[in-house]
Structure 1
Amino acid sequence: MFRVKFGVAAASHLAIKALQQTAKEAVGRYDKAASVILRDFYVDDLLTGSSNIEELQVIQCDVSTVLGSGGFELRQWASNCPELTASIPNASKEISKYIAEDKKVHALGLIWNTKRDYLTFAVNLNEPIPLLSKRAYLSDSSVLFDPIVLLSPCTIKSKIWFQDLWRSNVDWDDPVPMPIAREWCHHREQLKLFSDLKLKRWTGIGAKGAYTQLHLFADASERAYAAVIYARTIQPCGEITVALASSKTKVAPLKVTTLPRLELCAANLAAKLAKTIMDSLPNQTYPMFAWPDPTITLAWLKAHQSRWTTFITNRVADTQEIVPAESWNHIRSEINPADCASRGLTPLELMEHRLWWNGPEFLSSS
């Protein structure tokens, strides 16, 4: 076969493999374009960029050339850079003309306003389901798509309620208990507020001469534990920008465990999240500073793992492999942004939660 036959089980694998093979054959002639194709494609969407216009235009031209040689014609270009849009060949611009006029692009479930360069969320909530079963609840609570995980203080609440459903032994098609149904319906109504939320797309990382640090925060409650990462960048002009990079939450296990152990799990979660962030930043390493609030967890992480029991030893060793012991520091609970993610917030509270969106005030100071 000389074409990918869509509909067969191997179609998605073959399409991506063909894309990657085309990039690998260009190594040596178009090294930068090849690395962009291998790193910045998600299925058939390319999301990439550069800190200067000239390099961005070269990337756009070379990526098009490389993939064109393999039969992949890139279409529907969108950029926050008018110079790049003007330099795209006419054939491609005609295909993507409606994007340039609308200034809003759907990128992996998010809406990107290319003119003002901010992201918003697509909230597609229909009318509430008359009979809320466990199956319907799971489907309904998954409607809000948050690929960068910026809304975890809200999404963790739906996870906690779903765990309560498991505890109540409700079957998949049985109605959920009224207290949970009432709380979810109220929470669900507020989720529509996120369609008005505007987040700066650029984190500040990547500018020439800029210095970036990654700050990890971890915390746990009796119901969940959470980790959140901020990128703190000192720009060449001396301005300090702090951006929420990503977060991750997990519900506490059904088997009751102690709070210090959950706090250690939160620190381990923060380390794994840091590895994911570092892997997504090309050819760069950034200083990391980690901030849990319990002193017990801090003592575990700063000592050698051989001193502790098996549960603690395994997680300390796993965490220290990514974030070394000297990077862990104490922070007060009231200024720890991971605290609100471990306890949960309503959408209305999250919209106005300065600590979550900006991090502690000391990150913005010198």
Structure 2
Amino acid sequence: MYLFGKRTEISEMVRRDFYVDDLMTGCQSIEEGLTIKEKMTELLQRSGFLLQKWVSSNQELNLQISEDLGEKKSERGKDIKTDEYSVQLPPQQKPITKRRVISDISRLYDPLGWVSPCVIISKTFIQKIWLSGIDWDQELTSDLLREWESYRKDLEHISKCQIPRWVETRPDDQLIELHGFCDASVAAYAAVVYIRVVDAEGIVKVNLVTSRTKVAPVKQQSIPRLELMGAVLLSELITEVAEVMNIPKSNIHAYTDSSVVLAWLSDHPSRWSTFVGNRVSQILTSDWGDRLTMQELQMNQYTHVCLILEVVHWWSWLLQAPEGAYCCGLRANEKYLKSPFFW
């Protein structure tokens, strides 16, 4: 509580930019970085906390703040010199059993969902293994083994995906927007959030911020219900991102290609079944629930099997879109509401 007695920029960093005992923040210049280090160290030392192992993506700043930079690659895939992240694939273990497959998959460290199109395939494969009923230390059946080896071979290219840490935001940017998309298939549903920046010179830059995927339940659900679950996933994800990045509601845009979901959202939750009503209520009570619009999506990379090397080009398509072109502005039509399908 002592740290928050006086509201300053440094105390705000303590509140906002700590993950457990690690400070993760940024600056616009070397001078600002040195000031942050000095003031942060002084503030925390008053309460008996000592910050150590300072490191920066700027090598000149590193020479002034740190003597021990460690290895080129951090244990979690961070390349300090290029300021990029990558996902590392653990070595294959044999024989290929249920236990070893699940162990391999769990070691794919991707907390922000930067390579979700790859990881979701492994999630659906785990579901298949469980449904097959084989024991933990039993080798996979021939069909499952072929599928796993094909996926594993494709997955070897995942380390070629280099994800920049910096999403190219600056204090003098003209506009910063969040664009969130959700979609679903019979196998899975997903949500993804991009940041779209118009800098001081009017240049548009787009970067992937985060995504989240979930395997469809074993108990079969209709596609519209899965689309609704994807919309709920997006509501949770984009709310978290907007709060962390301090993006105003007016700059948040959310999209779905499901006219059924928009129809559900256009009326009071009490009109629908318990399953639908609860999820509609959750979306509408979020800060951006009234900003969900319809757009034909190209998100099959998240909800269908994909090739690993095809992932990268999906990240920057908003870069090509002029203002407003990414939203067709469609809303639910009254004819959908009259259908008994929604009850």
Give the shorter-chain TM-score range: 0.7 to 0.9
Report the CA distance between 1:240 and its aligned residue: 0.8
RMSD: 2.4
Paired residue for 2:136? 172
Q: Is the 8 A contact 2:173 2:197 kept in 1?
A: no
Counterpart CA distance in 1 for 2:319 and 2:10 is 39
In structure 2, do the counterparts of structure 1 residues 131 and 87 end up closer, same or farther at CA, with 3 Å as the change threshold?
A: closer
1:285 to 237, 248, 261: 248
Letter in 2 for 1:285: P
Letter in 2 for 1:341: Y
Aligned with residue 273 of structure 1, among 237, 249, 256: 237
TM-score, normalised with respect to structure 1:
0.80
Match of 1:34 in 2: 11
**Are 2:83 and 2:165, in contact at CA under 8 Å, matched by a contact in 1?**
yes
Q: Which range moved further: 196-205 or 246-255?
A: 196-205
TM-superposition CA deviations, 1:222-251 (whole Å, max 9, x none):
010001111111111101111101000001
Q: Is the 8 A contact 2:257 2:296 kept in 1?
A: yes
- Partners of 1:288 and 1:323 within 8 A in 2: no
Alignment correspondent of 2:302? 341
How far is 1:143 from its partner?
Answer: 1.8
SS in 2 for 1:106: coil
| 8 A Cα contact 1:230 1:359, kept in partner | no
Aligned residue for 2:154, secondary structure, equals helix
Query: Once the 2 structures are TM-superposed, how far is the Cα of residue 363 of structure 1 from its aligned partner?
Result: 4.2
Match of 1:196 in 2: 160
Task: Compare 255-264 and 324-333 and name the one that shifted more.
Answer: 324-333
Aligned AA (1:200)? P
Aligned to 1:358: 316
Aligned with 2:125 (options 147, 157, 161)? 161
Return the alpha-carbon distance in structure 1 between the equivalents of residues 201 and 318 of structure 2.
Answer: 22
Q: Tell me the distance in 2 between the aligned counterparts of 1:30 and 1:320.
A: 33
Give the Cα–Cα distance (whole angstroms) in 2 for the partners of residues 217 and 269 of structure 1. 10
Which residue pairs with 1:125 in the alignment? 90
Q: Say if 2:258 is the partner of 1:294.
A: yes
CA pair 343-56 structure 1, distance change in 2 beyond 3 A: same
Query: Residue 325 of structure 1: CA displacement?
Result: 4.6
Distance 1:325 1:64, change over 3 A: closer
Distance 1:29 1:58, change over 3 A: farther
Matched to 1:31, the amino acid is T
Partner of 2:204: 240
Q: Secondary structure at the match of 2:4?
A: coil
Residues 317-350 of structure 1, C-alpha deviation per residue, up to 9 Å, x if partnerless? 10111254541111114xx3x3210113232332
Cα distance in 1 for partners of 2:197, 2:117 equals 24
Q: Give the gaps of 5 or more residues in structure 2.
A: 325-343
Letter paired with 1:106: S
CA separation of 1:178/1:78 partners in 2, compared to 1, >3 Å: closer, same or farther?
A: same
- Aligned match of 1:211: 175
Q: Distance in 1 between matches of 2:319 and 2:200?
A: 21
Work out the CA distance in 2 between the residues paired with 1:38 and 1:105. 28
CA distance in 2, matches of 1:150, 1:140: 18
Rounded Cα–Cα distance in structure 1 between residues aligned with 2:101 and 2:289: 42
Structure 1 residues 54-75: Cα deviation after superposition (integer angstroms, max 9, x where no partner): 4433222111112233443323
Query: In the alignment, what sits opposite 2:74?
Result: 106
Give the structure 1 partner of residue 36 of structure 2.
Answer: 59
Q: Read off the aligned partner of 2:78 and give its amino acid letter.
A: I
Alignment of 1:43-54 (within 5 A): 43-54=20-31
Q: Size of the alignment, in residue pairs?
A: 323
Is the contact made by 1:302 and 1:328 (CA closer than 8 Å) also made in structure 2? Answer: no
CA distance change for structure 1 residues 184 and 207 in 2, over 3 Å: closer, same or farther? farther
Seen in structure 2, the aligned counterparts of structure 1 residues 291 and 159 have a Cα distance that, compared at 3 Å, is same
* Amino acid in structure 2 at the alignment position of 1:345: C
Give the letter aligned to residue 219 of structure 1: D
Identity %: 33
Higher helix share: 1
**Equivalents in 1 of 2:228, 2:317: separation in Å?**
21
Correspondence for 2:279 = 315
Residue type matched to 2:79 in 1? Answer: W
Matched position secondary structure for 2:130: helix
Q: Distance in 1 between matches of 2:247 and 2:225?
A: 33
